[in-house]
Amino acid sequence: MTTAPRLFISYSWSNPTHEQWVVDLATELRSSGVDVILDKWDLREGHDALAFMEKMISDASITKVIIVCDKIYVSKADGRAGGVGTETQIISPEIYAKQAQDKFVAVIAERDENGKPYLPIYYKSRIYVDLSEAERYSENFEKLLRWIFDKPLFVKPELGKAPAFIVEPNAIALGTSVLAKRAIEGVKNGKEYARGAVEEYLNVFSENLERYRMGSDGGEPDEQIVKSIEEFTPARNEYIQVLTTLTQYTDVREYMSAIHRFFESLVCYFLPPKDVSSYTNIDFDNFKFIAHELFLYTLAVLIRAEKLDAATYLLSQQYYVADTQRYSNEPILNFYACTSTPNHWIFATVD
C-alpha cells in the first residue's frame, strides 16, 4: 500500500474569502489522497505557533510544502511581517541552501493588475503552479497533484544506445534527416512547398538506398544481411514519421501517386547493377526485406489512420519495370508474394 504524501500549506489569512479558498484547496487535496497539514485543522489553542511552523518546514515526514501566494502573502513575506514573515525566514534558507528543489512549490492564487503572478522575492526565478484562473484550474490542479506524488506527465525515456552510424565509423546513413524534417514541418504548417519537400525526400531516399548494397567483403552473408537491416532501422523510422505526418495533417490521397512512384523506384534494387555479371540471389535479400518492410509499414500506417482509400490505391496499382529482360517480358507487373527467384517481387499480391 502506498503511503500518502504529507503536505503543509503556508498561506496568509488575507480575508475570509481567501481563507475559504485555501480550505477548499486543502479539502480537494485530501480527497485526492494527500495528507494535508493545515493550521485551521491542526493548530489548536495552547499550541506554540512558532514551533508548529518550524516543525512543518523541518520535519522529514513532511515531503511537500505549498506556498499559496496572493498580494498580502507576498507583502508579508518580502517584509518579513507576521506569521508569514516568520515562515519565510524558515522557508527561504531551505530553498536557497538545498540543491534538490522538490519540497517547495508556489501556488498562485492571485495576479496583479498587469496579470503578473504575486511571488515572493526569494521565489521569483522558480517554477510555480497557477490556480488563479478558473478555466485552467482543473488542468493545473492535476499538475499540482503530479508534483506532490512525484508523477510528472512527461517522463524522461530510458537512455538508448547510440546509433550505429555514430559509434561505428563505417556505418551507413541515408542522409535524409534534414529533408525529412523540412517535409514534416511543411506538411504540419500547411506550407506551399510541402508537396515538393515530400517528393524530394522520397527521391533522395530511393537514390541513397544504394548505400546499403552489400559488398563482397568476405563476411558471412546472413550476418551482412542482418547488419544491413539493423543499420537501416533509423531510416525506416524516419520514413514512418513522415508518412504518419501525412495521414494526420493532410489528405494523404494527394500524396499516393508519389508514394507509388517511390516503391516503383525500388525495383532496381532487387537485381544487381547492369555492370555486375556475377552474383547470387542472396546478394539482394537485404533490399527485399527493406522494401517489403517499408511497404507493410505504409499499409499499416494508412489502415491505422483509417485511410482505406489510400491503402487500396497502393495495393491495386501496377508497377513499371524498366529492365524487363531481368524480370520478365512484361514492363508492368503486380506485386508478388514469391521471393524464391530474383524475377519476382516480394509484396502481397493483389489480383
Look at the domain 6-148 and name its fold.
Answer: Rossmann fold (3.40.50)
C-alpha atoms less than 13 angstroms from C-alpha of 298 in its C-beta half-sphere: 24
Distance CA 250, CA 257 (A): 14
C-alpha cell at 165: 552510424
| 108 beta partners | 69, 130
Query: Domain boundaries in the chain?
Result: 6-148, 164-333
C-alpha cell at 99: 540543491
DSSP 182: H
Contact indicator for 231, 250 with CB cutoff of 8 Å: no
C-alpha cell at 23: 480550505
Q: What is the mean pLDDT of each run of 10 residues along the chain (351 residues)?
A: 84 92 95 93 77 77 90 86 71 59 87 90 84 92 94 86 66 85 95 95 93 72 82 92 96 94 85 66 80 92 95 83 50 44 42 39
The strands making up 35-37's β-sheet, listed across from edge to edge, are 35-37, 6-10, 64-69, 104-108, 128-130
Instruction: Say if residue 340 is exposed, middle or buried (CB neighbours under 10 Å; 0-12, 13-18, 19+).
Output: exposed
Contacts of 47 (CB under 8 A, 6+ apart): none
pLDDT tens for each residue of 12-22 = 998 999 999 99
pLDDT tens for each residue of 286-336 = 888 898 899 999 999 999 999 999 999 988 887 666 554 454 445 455 554
pTM of the model: 0.51
